[in-house]
Amino acid sequence: MAGTSKSEGRTGLLNGLAAYGMWGMVPLFWPLLKPAGATEILAHRMVWSLAFVAVALLVVRRWAWAGELLRQPRRLALVVIAAAVITVNWGVYIWAVNSGHVVEASLGYFINPLVTIAMGVLILKERLRPAQWAAVGVGFAAVLVLTIGYGRPPWISLTLAFSFATYGLVKKKVNLGGVESLAAETAVQFLPALGYLLWLSAHGGLTFATGGTGHAALLASTGIVTALPLVCFGAAAIRVPLSTLGLLQYLAPVFQFLLGVLYFGEAMPPERWAGFALVWLALVLLTGDALRTSRRAARALGPAIAESRSKTPGATGVTGVTGTPRTTGATGITGTTGTTGSVREAESVTPGVVGDAAAAGVAAASAVPGAPAPEAGVSPLAQP
């Protein structure tokens, strides 16, 4: 049993590394699609993503959710909003990478957890712990420093962070699995995207038709590039603790930042280093506070878990204890009022799981600010 659990954990960790690794290395992919412009690339991403996930859902015969969604106008409206917001996120990111702003794009995903928390305070009226307030304050100071360094507000970073955080907020309320969510959103995007491509073709500007077979194949592969990391994230989300995912999520912007500086050779004058250093300090404060809170909650729950196990006949773990769904605290954790919910809360406090989580289903993963959850109930957020 222990061997199986260890193997499952290793599989989950490898899938998590694969998901965030792919999201982190995606800046290498978008330049390959030139001479296609950012808007054409975006349209192809929408069209081919729907094609890819539709085939996947046909293979696994998972279509029951579609009928339920169509019978719920409020959820359908939220899907439309999510599709609109992620369109902005995807479009800005693709343009930023292909226009030489990889470092500023990576900053958007570094500050996303801070923006998510700030939105929780402003929109959901949530209360923060002192360390969280300190992190948000340091993040705000970082934006001011970077504004001075860039000579303008870092609008690319702010657009990516706010669109991604808004996407996460909406997706928590939709509560669809990652592949299903991507299918629903790209179905909304499909007709406008296809219409744009047909218009572009009529005016002789469609590179898909004129750039050769290799170029067309690369444009078609945008569907795989979008969906595959979500599948890996879903496999990780059900096998490893959310605290682990909360740390792994920083791999994506770290890889993007390193690619921007070391591979693409983007400038990093001292004032930008200072701004990024403040952002990283804010994330250290946020993550440290989350880990401390998680440990305290786990220690406090120890006796309760032991007692619940002793009272549950044949129980082998806390999964035998159930409760009613609820949402807690500033991170919006979905859990249960029983012992299982408390354990999930203790496990899920790590802030800011990032995902193209454009983008995913374990309902509890949506609890983590900025979490991209693609499978088994994880609230889906989309990476670039």
Q: What is the pLDDT of residues 217-231, one digit of tens each?
A: 999 999 999 989 988
DSSP state of 72: -
Q: State residue 383's pLDDT score.
A: 57
- How far, in Å, CA of 218 to CA of 266, rounded? 25
Residues in the chain: 384
Tokens, residue 341: 């919910």
Average pLDDT on 301-317 reads 59
DSSP string, 165-230: HHHHHHHHHH---HHHHHHHHHHHHHHHHHHHHHHHHHTT--HHHHS-HHHHHHHHTHHHHHHHHH
The pTM for the full model equals: 0.78
Residue 73 — pLDDT band, cuts 50, 70, 90? very high
Least confident stretch, 121-135, 236-250, 275-289, 359-373: 359-373
Average pLDDT on 335-362 reads 36
- How far, in Å, CA of 373 to CA of 384, rounded? 14
- How far, in Å, CA of 157 to CA of 334, rounded? 28
DSSP string, 286-353: HHHHHHHHHHHHHHHHHHHHHHHHHHSTT--SGGG----EEEETTTTEEEESSHHHHHHHHHS-----
pLDDT digits (tens, 9 = 90+) for 115-126: 888 888 888 788
Q: Which residue has the higher pLDDT, 130 or 341?
A: 130
Is the pLDDT at 358 greater than 90? The verdict is: no
- How far, in Å, CA of 335 to CA of 343, rounded? 9
Q: Which residues contact 126 (CB under 8 A, 6 or more apart)?
A: 120, 329, 330, 332
Backbone φ, ψ for residue 63 (5° rounding)? -125, -5
Residue 257 — pLDDT band, cuts 50, 70, 90? very high
Residue that has been written with the tokens 């029983």 in this structure: 338
Is the pLDDT at 92 greater than 60? The verdict is: yes
Average pLDDT on 122-140 reads 86
